């Protein structure tokens, strides 16, 4: 049974799951209904959210452009983190985007894997996370498809154009997960990544 997390909560991943060497980080969201169309009818905004992973060293720094895994760089330089593809609408049930993390292949120089989501072309489209609902991150064991962790983002992120959702991090030789859920401003993933360079 999955552990449902609250903001700021940390939980062991590998310690209680012997043999867990690979996880799927699934992110999902739905566009919120906005006024528009005929007679002020509500319709869903077309918001293109992009999930990304930043592989950070012990100093919290992104040590190389290949350590940013996103829609235009789908695999880390070491090959241990892979983005499965871009979803431009957020429609449908389940995960909208997935990032596969091979925990046992993460280089020793990487201490944390920060998972973030930003809105593509947010400035030109005048969009922010107030136009998104039902956002979540979950960690799944791909061997048996068991959901290990789920963190539903319930805060109001209106006005924010990027979310730092959570992080996988090393602690005493084990991997843990930290539910962060912080909104910030970044018009593009490259701008957000610069904060960690």
Q: What pTM was estimated for this model as a whole?
A: 0.88
Percentage of residues in the chain with pLDDT exceeding 90?
59
User: What's the distance, CA 72 to chain centroid?
Assistant: 15
pLDDT tens across 57-70, in order? 999 999 788 999 99
Per the CB < 8 A criterion, the answer to whether 165 and 137 are in contact is yes
pLDDT tens across 82-127, in order? 999 765 544 556 788 999 999 999 999 999 999 999 888 788 888 8
C-alpha to C-alpha distance for 43 and 18, rounded to whole angstroms: 46
User: Do the strands 162-171 and 112-119 form a parallel or antiparallel pair, or are they unpaired?
Assistant: antiparallel
């Amino acid at each position: 049974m999955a552990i449902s997390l609250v903001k700021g909560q940390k939980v062991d991943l590998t310690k209680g799951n012997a043999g867990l060497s690979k996880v799927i980080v699934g992110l999902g969201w739905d566009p919120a209904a906005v006024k528009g169309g005929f007679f002020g009818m509500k319709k869903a905004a077309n918001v293109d959210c992009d999930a990304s992973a930043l592989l950070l060293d012990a100093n919290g720094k992104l040590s190389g452009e290949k350590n940013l895994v996103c829609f235009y760089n789908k695999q880390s330089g070491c090959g241990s983190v892979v983005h499965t593809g871009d979803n431009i609408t957020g429609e449908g049930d389940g995960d909208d985007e997935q990032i596969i993390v091979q925990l046992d292949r993460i280089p020793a120089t990487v201490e944390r894997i920060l998972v973030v989501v930003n809105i593509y072309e947010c400035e030109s489209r005048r969009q922010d996370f107030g136009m998104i609902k039902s956002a979540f991150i979950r960690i799944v064991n791909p061997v048996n498809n068991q959901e290990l962790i789920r963190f539903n983002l319930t805060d109001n992120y209106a006005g924010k154009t990027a979310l730092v959702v959570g992080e996988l991090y090393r602690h005493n030789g084990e991997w843990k997960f930290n539910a962060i859920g912080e909104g910030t401003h970044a018009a593009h993933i490259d701008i957000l990544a610069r904060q960690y360079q």
